[in-house]
Amino acid sequence: MSAADVPLWAALPAALLLICGGLLTLVGSLGLLRLDSFFARIHAPTMGGTLGAGCVLLASMLVSTALAQRPVIHELLITLFILITAPVTTMLLMRAAILRSKE
Amino acid sequence: MNVILPFAVNFALTCFALAMLCALIRLLRGPAAQDRILALDTLYINGMLTILMLGIGFGSAIYFDIALLIALFGFVGSTAMAKFLLRGEVIEP
Amino acid sequence: MKRPPVVPLLPVVLLIVWLLLNDSLSLGHVLLGVAFALFVSAAVRRLRPLPALPHRIHVAIGLCWRVFLDIVRSNIGVGRVILGAAQRQPTIGFLKIPLDLRDPHGLAMLSIIVTGTPGTVWSGHDPTTNVLTLHVLDLQDEDAWIHTIKDRYERPLMEIFE
């Protein structure tokens, strides 16, 4: 069982989601390089962290459901975890940066 | 037998590799400590997505647990470092 | 005023997490998950003396959908800013927004929504004056941002948690 055995009804949307997720994450990380101040850069990885990760995890759910031939939704756990925890790190970093830029 | 999903997996793997390269350059270059922490945070999210992508490509369920562990430990690590920048101490008495 | 029945949130969420983690719905896992959920929620009760009491679930579902749409929209916006960064660096800026929401769980949800949406980061909250400091990547129209935060997110959260 591998990626080539997935039936077409799952492979087509999964492929679309994977391409979207990959491009979003790439653009988000590119922002780390192209934006010129830290306060602008902090917004860029959020793209990969929310919609990029969401697309990839949805595709993973589709593929594993099609391969196991029963609903497999435990990737929801990672989605929820990322959605809740990524903002916490960003907020802490933001406050640290504000504190350090005042000194 | 279709080729569209393996193609998409390879495409996304390339995207994630490039994204990790961007984060790595920022990690090495970043002028301030918060830049490096932000880059490290991005690096671990991209790494987790890469692991998930390998799981899709090989059709195996084992990669899910690895991705979950990377997500857990990456969050703990980035938060500890951000807290250290903020307060000068990770675990306060 | 008659209030709808309130579901204890933490044990239910813990049970769902346990079942998802084991990826099964067999009787043994359900029983083990119920025992685990009850034990953990009893153990953390002294850490969190204030239980979350969300009501009006339909408002919450509407809010989730709206947040999803906003995440998609602002992803496109931030992507455009990043790809066009060679011509024009974005105008970043801080924004002060007075809030009416007082419930700590509502404020936590608002902070996660605001920070999870690309382009805005929650960067401070003064508990005495209840003023939120927001950092915006592409600050063009201040009133539009204040309107977005207050009408789209704060009012549903006040309905849910207060």
Domains of chain B: 4-87 (1.10.287)
Separation CA C90–CA B27 (nearest Å) = 22
- Of C7-11, C16-20, C119-123, the one with minimum mean pLDDT is C7-11
Q: Is the model's pLDDT at C2 over the cut of 80?
A: no
Helix axes A8-34, C57-83, angle to 10 degrees: 60
Are the beta carbons of A40 and C124 separated by less than 8 Å? no
Mean pLDDT of B57-70: 85
Mean pLDDT of A65-79: 83
Are the beta carbons of A18 and B11 separated by less than 8 Å? yes
Are the beta carbons of A91 and C121 separated by less than 8 Å? yes
Are the beta carbons of A35 and C75 separated by less than 8 Å? no
**A&C contacts, CB < 8 Å:** 95
Are the beta carbons of C75 and A39 separated by less than 8 Å? no
Is 0.90 exceeded by the ipTM? no
> Measured between CA atoms, how close is B51 to chain A, in angstroms?
11
Mean pLDDT of C121-132: 83
Residues in C lying within 8 Å of A, measured between beta carbons: 17, 20-21, 23, 71-72, 75, 78-79, 82-83, 85-86, 89-90, 92, 111-112, 115-124, 135, 137
Task: Tell me how far CA of residue B31 lies from CA of A48, A93, B21, in angstroms.
Answer: 22, 15, 17
Separation CA B54–CA C101 (nearest Å) = 44
Which pTM does this prediction carry? 0.85
Where are any strands of DSSP class E within chain C? 93-98, 120-126, 131-136
